[in-house]
Each structure stands twice: as structure tokens, then as C-alpha cells.
């Protein structure tokens, strides 16, 4: 499960970096028109991989889906006036917010899975060290 999340997290991080780049380029639209199209194609590819959640277990997939819903429900509050007026800039910002949220969710899930693994290994180690307690009657 940890390895699955790691692979997914790498895609999400690429998406966040590319979203941030696109947001900056859309703000300075005239300077970066050719790069915007190139990055949009890359973003489509990443979006497809992330939205399919391929390689994630059902539990992780459902958890990531909850994160996506929570982020997308709060979109409008995360936009400033300029982003609300400029549709392309608003879309770029929403993409950035989504990938930032997914990246944070992946970090949290990795941390929680790591803690669970540590606890489980500690429990199994303790059981191996301590002999079972039996009552003598």
C-alpha cells in the first residue's frame, strides 16, 4: 500500500509543479502562449493518470476521492477577484489548489501508513519476545 501511494504521490507532485507553472504562465499570457499549450497537454496526461487512481488499493482510492470532493467544494473561496473574472486564470488556480490538496493528502496518508506499519511491527516483535502467559491451576 505504501509503494502504491508513493507512485501516486509522485504523479500528484508533478501535477502540482506543472499547475503552478501554468498558473504563472496564464497570468503573463502574452509571453508564454507556446509554452502554455505544451504544458496543457502534459497536464491532461497527468490529470488522466491521477483521476484513474490506477494502482491504488480501493481504500486509498476512496480516501483520495474524498479529498478531491472536499477540495473541489471549496474552490470559489480560494479564488481572488482577478481569478474569478479571468476564467482561464480561475481554472489554472483551481487546478493548482486541487494538486496542492492532493499532495498534502498523500503526505498525510504516507505518514499514517508509516505509523501503522511501525505499530504493527512493534506488536509482532513484542509477541515474539514475550512468551504467552498461561495460568497454572
Sign of the dihedral defined by the CA atoms of residues 9, 40, 79, 49, in that order: negative
Instruction: Mention every residue, 6+ apart, whose C-beta is less than 8 A from residue 78.
Output: 93, 94, 97
What pLDDT is stored for residue 17 in this prediction? 94
What pLDDT is stored for residue 67 in this prediction? 76
Positions of the chain with pLDDT lower than 70, given as ranges: 30, 55, 74-76, 129-137
How far is the C-alpha of 94 from the C-alpha of 23, rounded, in Å?
Answer: 9
Query: Domain spans of the chain?
Result: 2-129
What pLDDT is stored for residue 16 in this prediction? 94
What pLDDT is stored for residue 135 in this prediction? 67
**Residue 106, burial from CB neighbour count under 10 angstroms (0-12, 13-18, 19+):** buried
**Residue 66, burial from CB neighbour count under 10 angstroms (0-12, 13-18, 19+):** exposed
Does pTM top 0.75 for this prediction? no
What pLDDT is stored for residue 129 in this prediction? 67
Amino acid at each position: 500500500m505504501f509503494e502504491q501511494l508513493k507512485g501516486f504521490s509522485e504523479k500528484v507532485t508533478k501535477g502540482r509543479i506543472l499547475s503552478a507553472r501554468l498558473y504563472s504562465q496564464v497570468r503573463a499570457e502574452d509571453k508564454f502562449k507556446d509554452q502554455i499549450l505544451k504544458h496543457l497537454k502534459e497536464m491532461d496526461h497527468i490529470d488522466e493518470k491521477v483521476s484513474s487512481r490506477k494502482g491504488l488499493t480501493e481504500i486509498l482510492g476512496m480516501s483520495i476521492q474524498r479529498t478531491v470532493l472536499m477540495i473541489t467544494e471549496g474552490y470559489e473561496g480560494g479564488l481572488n477577484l482577478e481569478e474569478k473574472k479571468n476564467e482561464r486564470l480561475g481554472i489554472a488556480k483551481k487546478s493548482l489548489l486541487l494538486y496542492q490538496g492532493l499532495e498534502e493528502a498523500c503526505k498525510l496518508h504516507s505518514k499514517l501508513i508509516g505509523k501503522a506499519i511501525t505499530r504493527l511491527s512493534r506488536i509482532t516483535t513484542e509477541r515474539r519476545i514475550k512468551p504467552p502467559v498461561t495460568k497454572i491451576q
